[in-house]
Amino acid sequence: MQPENADALITENLALVHACANRFRGRGAAYEELFSAGCVGLCKAARHFDPSRGFAFSTYAVPVILGEIKRVFRDGGALKVGRTLKEKARRAMREKAQLESELQREVTISELAERLGVSPAEAAQLVTVSLPVLSLTGDSERDEKQLDVPVPPPDGALSALLSLQTVLQTLPERDERLIRLRYFEGLTQSKTAAQLGMSQVQVSRREKAILLYLREQMLK
């Protein structure tokens, strides 16, 4: 993947990181730390994504993002931070404090990124570097209890995917192809319509009906 294409994927798919990080809220790690780890996964996915393999970027990126977020819990948050990154983090926190003073409110990652002239992913990483480390194992000398963090089993996503594949096979051939074009190959509704000989409006309406059916079947 070319650097400019990777940058575009990162910018356009930050919502994926938020969605993945939200799954781990309240499990003992700060949201900023989860988001930062997820951004690392997004960057890795963007660099290694091969669109010629025929599936959507989100299909490839989500497992990579989740893997980096889960690493936060596996490693107990013990991250080695280089001197250069620490210096950048200190500058980021100074700018953050200055900006919050100007705006009289807490700033968002996007606002801080714009102030620093960096990407939202890098801004999130710099904020995370400045956060205190949270021990997930506790310290017996200070009478701290171990914190058990529930992490979803790794076969959960695979089971869901297998279930989806099974339900897809119950669809009429044209409906199945519509879903595969839209969600596995990442085509727009207009391009899907051209492939199926339909209008974009027809694809939109049919897609909504199929997704409703799939949701009902998956919940049975």
pLDDT digits (tens, 9 = 90+) for 134-150: 444 444 444 444 444 44
Please give the class, per CATH, of domain 155-218: mainly alpha
Task: Give the pTM.
Answer: 0.39
Say whether pLDDT at 22 is over 80.
yes
pLDDT of residue 79: 47
pLDDT at 131: 55
For residue 55, how far is the Cα from the chain centroid? 17
Lowest mean pLDDT among 4-8, 62-66, 183-187: 4-8
Q: What is the CA radius of gyration of the chain?
A: 21
Where are the domains positioned within the chain? 3-135, 155-218
User: What is the chain's length?
Assistant: 220
Burial class of residue 121 in the structure, from the number of CB atoms within 10 Å of its CB (0-12 exposed, 13-18 middle, 19+ buried): buried
What pLDDT digit, counting tens, does each position of 73-118 carry?
776 544 445 567 778 888 888 888 888 888 888 878 778 888 888 8
**Token digits of residue 130:** 């400045």
60 or 218, greater pLDDT: 60
12-21 own/partner pairs: CB under 8 Å, 24+ apart: 13/42, 13/46, 13/57, 13/58, 13/61, 14/39, 14/42, 14/120, 14/121, 16/42, 16/58, 16/61, 16/62, 16/65, 17/41, 17/42, 17/65, 17/121, 20/62, 20/65, 20/66, 20/69, 21/69
pLDDT on residue 163: 62
pLDDT for res 2: 55
CA dist 82 and 61 (Å) reads 27
